[in-house]
């Protein structure tokens, strides 16, 4: 299995963030996943540009930034300057998604589009060939530690079919309730990138946990 692992730093220890950054650097993880929340698009507030800049100073792997914010176009340049490699916006928050994707690409970042659990796959039909990644939210966005929504598996399969039929090269990322109980099934359904937060950072041995997710049996 050639899937990637992106630990969600939202579940890291912010009192000792550098320690958790080094843990990810020294593990088999592929990306850092960074959730930005504004308290408007989702009912929670997380970190913003200054924290991403701080992480970027120590991170030795790409920064995968997920914007759960209203009007993301206002901040694209700021996140590029902060060190973002992959920038994902929500289809539900973007008024002119095609323009947003073009802007992200023009700043030499990969562009992703995220779908909330209630948003159907067919909303991507007119944009799927223009994007590098689709992030399927398998919980309602805003808080970590939620239970995986099982209908997400069928959604992933539908998305994989759309990508194949359209000739798109987009990867599929899944975030929410990912762990040892469903990781293999998610990859078999077509997932390319697994995001896990609490499952990794609350584990007794996070490095081993990442290794287990990376080397599924």
Instruction: State the catalytic residues.
Output: 35, 175
Instruction: Report angle CA 142, 145, 149 to the nearest 5 degrees.
Output: 80
Instruction: Please answer whether residues 7 and 214 qualify as being in contact, where contact means their C-beta atoms are separated by less than 8 angstroms.
Output: no
For strand 63-68 and strand 133-137, is the pairing parallel, antiparallel, or unpaired?
A: unpaired
- In this structure, what DSSP letter does residue 94 have? -
Nearest to 86 by CA among 170, 148, 183, 157: 170
Q: Is 125 helix (H, G, I), strand (E, B) or coil?
A: coil
Instruction: Please answer whether residues 174 and 156 qualify as being in contact, where contact means their C-beta atoms are separated by less than 8 angstroms.
Output: yes
Nearest to 201 by CA among 67, 53, 54, 14: 14
Q: Count CA within 13 A, CB hemisphere, residue 35.
A: 27
């Amino acid at each position: 299995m050639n899937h990637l692992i992106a630990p969600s730093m939202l579940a890291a220890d912010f009192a000792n963030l550098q320690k958790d950054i080094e843990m990810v650097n020294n593990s088999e993880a592929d990306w850092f996943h960074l959730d930005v929340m504004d308290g408007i698009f989702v009912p929670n507030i997380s970190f913003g540009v200054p924290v991403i800049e701080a992480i970027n100073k120590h991170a030795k792997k790409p920064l995968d930034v997920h914007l759960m914010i209203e009007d993301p176009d206002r901040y694209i340049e700021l996140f590029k300057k902060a060190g973002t490699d992959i920038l994902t916006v929500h289809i539900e928050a973007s008024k002119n998604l095609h323009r947003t994707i073009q802007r992200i690409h023009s700043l030499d970042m990969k562009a992703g589009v995220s779908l909330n659990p209630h948003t159907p796959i067919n909303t991507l039909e007119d944009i799927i060939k223009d994007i590098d990644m689709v992030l399927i939210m398998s919980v309602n966005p805003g808080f970590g530690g939620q239970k995986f929504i099982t209908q997400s598996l069928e959604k992933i399969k539908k998305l994989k079919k759309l990508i194949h039929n359209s000739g798109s090269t987009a990867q599929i990322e899944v975030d929410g309730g990912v762990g040892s109980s469903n990781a293999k099934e998610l990859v078999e359904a077509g997932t390319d990138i697994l995001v896990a937060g609490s499952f990794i950072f609350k584990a007794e041995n996070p490095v081993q946990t990442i290794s287990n997710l990376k080397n599924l049996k």
